Amino acid sequence: MPDHLPVPSVPAGDDRSVRRPAGPVRRAGLPGGVATAAVLSLVLAACSPGSDGDDGSGTDGARGTDGSAVAPPADPDALVATLSAGQEGTVVLGAEDDGDDHAEGYDPSALALATADHFFTDAPVVVLTSADKQLRAASAAVALGVPVLVDGPHTSAQLDRLGTEVALVVGAVADPGIDVVVAADDAELASLVGATGEPLAVGPEDQVQQVADLDPASPEVLVPDASSTDAEAATAGPAGDEGGATAEAAPAPAPEGADQDATTATADPAPAPLESDRDELPVTAPPPPLDDVLVLSTGDPAQTAAVGTARAAGAQVVVLPGGDPGASSESLSAFADAAAGATSLVGLGAQFGDPDTLDWQARVAATGVELPGGGLTTLPGKTYVALYGTPSTGALGVLGEQPIEDTITRAQEHASWYEPLTDEPVVPTLEIIATVASAEAGPDGNYSNELPVEDLRPLVELAAENGVYVVLDLQPGRTDFVEQAQIYEELLRLPHVGLALDPEWRLGPDEVHMVRIGSVETEEVDRVVDWMAELVREHDLPQKMLVLHQFQIRMIPGADDVDRSRPEVAVLIHADGQGPHGSKMDTWTALQGHAPGVEHWGWKNFYDEDVPGPFTPEATMQVEPTPDFISYQ
């Protein structure tokens, strides 16, 4: 399913509506097993060895996921690894970063160990590999139905926990202290695992997906193709030759001017090549598959061994680049299809957050709702083009200059200007001023007029029917932003409705409008973030956008410190500078310098105040960084 459909341009004078897909889009819900599963655990860096795998039954042999005995394999002498029982709930497997090698927050050895620890309680045979040979090793593990370990500091402890007797070695690894079988080349590796076809060459970008697609009933050896930047080469050869199953990675060249001998002396030496202790592997058979377990991978090649172990256990694997099941319609569709019948959800790597976050994402996916523009994530990955104002009058912006049906059409038309300028979905948006700053104190004394929810509902619901996102803008006067946001909770429970804070109209206890420009402290903004995040979790809603308006640094003095850690809320600073184009750019640059850590930015084009007029769409998209949210007033 595409993120969005192209919108045809409308010739001047043509009063036909610009048609867009209706939204929010609903899809078939996911089974409740994943959506309601309890959170189990978060496996972190140490990846310490787990239990010894004894289930206390006193019974030998393979057991099902419920602990009951299963039928023995066709070959009575075949060794069968034992899978962990109780595979239910939501788990994230990962490890702390050990340096700068893996920015996602794990290293291959620790993640592979954590995955083996999660799925297997014992394994008489394992595949043991080096980090640069994961692809071959993972395909071998799937064929054998055994876990694959990436050699590291905890390898010996994990082999002890699994009760391993024999390791199939792929790559240069330290002596594990047990019997090993070392393939001389890819042909011998294929023979050892029962693969009859030629090795399949795989590009680095497809490595994890190819392992995820392996069929244990049709053993296959995967090798990197010639374009791979991995240490493995594409062509097979005898041991020690380029591309052989046990070939070592070539040492990196010394920096220019460095002493080669010193560089070699300080580098970790590669383990000495191992020789086979046996002529062949013991006969193995796959364990009963965990086909009701769904494993999510980002597709990073560092996860290849972990994915191999998951497939060896019979779990299903879906590759979600970026680690967000709801990033797009495509990723959400892939996740939904694979999750049918799943009772356990496992995320590989830190990009899947924590178990609570992944569990929330699964529950939201189960609702069958998508945001305008596709998926369950507001930002990043989309460009919003908004009309600003309030439906009760045209005096506050273009949003109120026409009946609500024409407002939708106008928003869609503005969005269509930007579609040729970006590869992202362009989402027509309405920023509705829900509370209007007032010169009079009013009955409640807060110098803000709160529009009734029922007055806003017709436009908000019409936006949903036409795939238009809505942002409710607050001008609170002397009222706390959280207090005013709570007035509109009923509307904010709708998936396509976000929130905007306008500190220009946030007054102190004794202040009035038009005397000084208002401001808000970070602490108050953070309370809004927390309130929105809890609302999202409580009602199984997609991520919401929080827009912070600013044209002077003093309006949000701590803008760079606003809490942006909650995945339920995407925070965006909206630069409201107006006047000559040079002045607008000066404001933009100053705000950027004040909050360099903020990821998402918005830009406002004024029809009347900008000189000589609003930026063209082309000029707006040339602003750096490219705005995520563009509004018209």
Q: Angle at CA 378, nearest 5°, toward 376 and 380?
A: 110
Q: How far is Cα 195 from Cα 277, in angstroms, rounded to an integer?
A: 22
510-529: average pLDDT: 90
Confidence band, pLDDT 50/70/90 cuts, at residue 13? very low
pLDDT of residue 74: 60
Confidence band, pLDDT 50/70/90 cuts, at residue 620? very high
Q: Is the pLDDT reported for residue 101 higher than 70?
A: no
Longest dimension (CA), the chain: 91
Task: Give 209's Cβ-side CA count (13 Å radius).
Answer: 10
Q: Which residues of 250-273 are buried (b: 16+ CB within 10 A; e: fewer)?
A: eeeeeeeeeeeeeeeeeeeeeeee
Q: Which has more pLDDT, 228 or 309?
A: 309
Ramachandran angles phi, psi of 261, nearest 5°: -65, -40
- Write the pLDDT tens digit of every residue in 154-209: 999 999 999 999 999 999 999 999 999 999 899 999 999 999 999 999 998 999 99
Is the distance from CB of 600 to CB of 573 less than 8 angstroms? yes
Q: Is the pLDDT reported for residue 373 higher than 60?
A: yes
Q: Is the pLDDT reported for residue 30 higher than 60?
A: no
Calculate the alpha carbon distances from 359 to 333, 425, 539 in Å.
Answer: 17, 26, 13
Q: Is the pLDDT reported for residue 245 higher than 60?
A: no
Residues whose CB falls within 8 Å of the CB of residue 601, separated by 6 or more in sequence, listed in order: 572, 573, 574, 575, 592, 625, 627, 628, 629
pLDDT of residue 96: 47
Strand segments (E) across 22-78: 39-43
Q: Name the pairing type of β-strands 497-501 and 544-550.
A: parallel
Confidence band, pLDDT 50/70/90 cuts, at residue 480? very high
348-362: average pLDDT: 90
Q: Is the pLDDT reported for residue 5 higher than 60?
A: no
Chain CA centroid to CA 118, Å? 22
551-561: average pLDDT: 95
Q: How far is Cα 466 from Cα 454, in angstroms, rounded to an integer?
A: 19
Residue 397 gets the label, from left (phi > 0), alpha (psi -120 to 50) or beta, of left
Which two tokens mark 259?
């002493």
What domains are defined for the chain? Answer: 77-249+270-288 (no CATH), 383-632 (3.20.20)
Strand segments (E) across 230-373: 293-297, 316-319, 344-348
- Write the pLDDT tens digit of every residue in 316-342: 999 998 888 888 888 888 888 887 778
pLDDT of residue 394: 86
243-249: average pLDDT: 38
Place of tokens 């019948």: 341
Outline where 419-467 has alpha helix (H).
Answer: 453-465
264-270: average pLDDT: 54
Q: Name the pairing type of β-strands 120-122 and 569-575.
A: unpaired
Instruction: Give the residue from 366, 368, 347, 376 showing the smallest Cα distance to 31.
Output: 366
Confidence band, pLDDT 50/70/90 cuts, at residue 73? low
Q: How far is Cα 150 from Cα 584, in angstroms, rounded to an integer?
A: 54
555-572: average pLDDT: 96
Is the distance from CB of 166 to CB of 189 less than 8 angstroms? no
